[in-house]
Structures are given as structure tokens and as C-alpha cells.
Amino acid sequence: MTDPAANLVDPFGRAVTYLRVSVTDRCDFRCTYCMAEDMTFLPRKDLLTLEEIDRLSSAFIQRGVRKLRLTGGEPLVRRNVMSLIQSLSRHLGNGLDELTLTTNGSQLHRFADQLAEHGMKRINVSLDTLDAAKFRFLTRWGDYHQVMRGLDRAVRAGLKIKINAVALRDVNEDEIEELLRWAHGRGFDLTLIETMPLGEIGTDRTDQYLPLSLVRTRLSQHFTLDDIPDSTGGPARYVRVRETGGRLGFITPMTHNFCESCNRVRVTCTGTLYMCLGQEDAADLRTPMRVSDTDDLLHAAIDEAIARKPQGHDFAIDRNAAPAVSRHMSATGG
């Protein structure tokens, strides 16, 4: 029988303390490395309700999750998402250490103040370029200046900001140094991410792939990068940039995976639990919630899934291979 007070530990002795929950697969951008321009999104009836997301998240917090990140798609386009965030904030200081989200920044001008009011201390903002025309090209639909206004609003609201940038060959590799100086000049952390083989996007990812080992070598010609042991609960490895005083992270699923210390699982907006971003194995958590008013079946399903959490992923960039995982990142959550 499941003990709803027992912490979650996978077969390799890793405690699961970090949950990422996608609240929607929808997004107001169509980033070229993330999704196709003519995406077909899920019917609304298939999505978890906000109440179900709260119930599911609360069950994980009861089992030892200390950090909860809301993702998408773009989480801030989900209708009434602020009511969910306000409800989840009751766990802060009562089992939950941090409630945060990853956003493309498009809606921050509307919601930054409320995020801070509901207990968020920091957020991740995805931004791959400081060139407005290139931003429009990469996002297909995005408004660069609206994102900048949102960042300004978030700063005024007191939110700490980490910029996430996907390193893309022949796209933004020539402006990574500029992005670093800009981010650190505003007091933001910057994390660089290798593109990952998730979902069909209509282009060949091998043309986009830029190993961060090469990026780091290039940056080292202009900056002194001191390795530091900092961790924000995710997969990034950090350095301190001596010349700026800022922190720079590298997420390298392709050139150096981060599986040995993996403490996280992901739940999609349909209630599907993925124990590994790079594997297809999954568990249905929506059905146990919908067939029972108690959480016994939900906890049992979580336990059974965590017992199957793999040691690592199988990502590889190969020009002749299909994506390592067929689902899009917007379906799983960042």
C-alpha cells in the first residue's frame, strides 16, 4: 500500500524533488527549433483542469517535491492561470521551497506583478536573440519589443530573471557574447542550451546544432570562466564570468548529459507523467484522478512510474535519424 507521506526515490537512489508541470501545449510563438508553424494543438477537453493540476501538484509536494515549475507551451496564455498560481502558493513554506515558471516573456507586461504577489521570486525567460528582426524570424509570430517591456515590468516587480537561450548554428552563435554582456549588465543570469531532438519541426536539426563545448571555448577567448558548484535544481552547470561578475549556465544534453543527478520529472497538460525528457515511457495520472475522489490511486500510479525512471536518456543528433522523441517540447513542457 502506498504511503502518501513517503518521499519519491527512483531505482538509482535519486530523490525526486523537482516537478515541471505543463499547463498548456498552446503558445503564442512558433519558434523554429521547437514546433512547426502549422501546429495542431490538443482539444481543450483533453487538458487537465486547473483544479486537477493543483491536485496533482499537491500530491507530488506531499511526496517530497520541493520545487515546482509551471511550463507550456506558454503557461501565461492558459486562461485563469493566475488562479492556479495563487492556489499553489499556499504550499510555499509548507513543503514547497520554490514556485516558478518558464515563459517566453510575451505576457509578462500583464502578469509580472501578480506573479510576485503570489510568491514567485524568480522566473526563466526564453530569449535567443537581441535582434528584433531575427527574433521575429525565430519565433515567427513574436514581438521583441513586447518581451522587452515585459522584462522591464518583471524587474520592477522584484522578480529575479534567468535568460534561457538556445544556441543555434548560423543563427545566433555570433551574438552569444553580446547576449551575455546584456544579460549580466541587467543583473540577469544567462543559461545556454543545446538544441534537442524533440518532435518534427519541418527542418533538419543537424543544421541548427551547435555544441556548447565549442561555444565555451569561444567565450573563453574573451572572458574568464570560473567553474562554480551552484545549482538551481535543474540540469545546468554554472560558471562565474569574472569580467561581468554574472553567472553563466550550460545545459548540454547532447555533448554531456546530466542524467546522473536527475531529480526531476515532468507532467504534461493532459496528465501524462514522463520520468525522463529523452524517453517515451510515461504514466497516465489523469485517469486515477478522474475515477476516484481520493488520491490513493494517484499516489499508487506515481509510485509505479517512479519505479521505472530510467538512468538516462538516449539523445543523439543524427542527420539520417528521426527525432529521438516524437512529441514536441511544447507538449511535455520545457
Is 276 among the annotated ligand-binding positions?
Answer: yes
Rounded Cα–Cα distance for residues 104 and 87 (Å): 23
Rounded Cα–Cα distance for residues 128 and 6 (Å): 40
Q: Using alpha carbons only, give the angle 32, 34, 35 rounded to the nearest 5 degrees.
A: 80
Is 134 among the annotated ligand-binding positions?
Answer: no
> Residue 164 gets which letter from DSSP?
E
Rounded Cα–Cα distance for residues 134 and 312 (Å): 35
Is 266 among the annotated ligand-binding positions?
Answer: yes
Is 34 among the annotated ligand-binding positions?
Answer: yes
Full DSSP string of 230-265: ---SSS-EEEEETTT--EEEEE-TTTS--GGG--EE
Is 262 among the annotated ligand-binding positions?
Answer: yes
Is 23 among the annotated ligand-binding positions?
Answer: no
Taking the alpha carbons of 322, 264, 160, 105 in that order, is the dihedral positive or negative? positive
Is 269 among the annotated ligand-binding positions?
Answer: no
Is 196 among the annotated ligand-binding positions?
Answer: yes
Burial class (CB in 10 A: 0-12, 13-18, 19+), 185: exposed
Is 162 among the annotated ligand-binding positions?
Answer: yes
Instruction: Give the bridge partners for 102, in sequence order.
Output: 124
Angle, helix 81-88 to helix 50-62, in steps of 10 degrees: 20
Is 259 among the annotated ligand-binding positions?
Answer: yes
Is 290 among the annotated ligand-binding positions?
Answer: no
Taking the alpha carbons of 242, 128, 53, 296 in that order, is the dihedral positive or negative? negative
Is 148 among the annotated ligand-binding positions?
Answer: no
CA within 13 Å, CB half, 9: 6
Is 58 among the annotated ligand-binding positions?
Answer: no
Element (H, E) at 123: strand 122-126
Known binding residues for GTP are 20, 69, 102, 162, 264-266
Known binding residues are 20, 27, 31, 33-34, 69, 73, 102, 126, 162, 196, 259, 262, 264-266, 276
Known binding residues for [4Fe-4S] cluster are 27, 31, 34, 259, 262, 276
Known binding residues for S-adenosyl-L-methionine are 33, 73, 126, 196
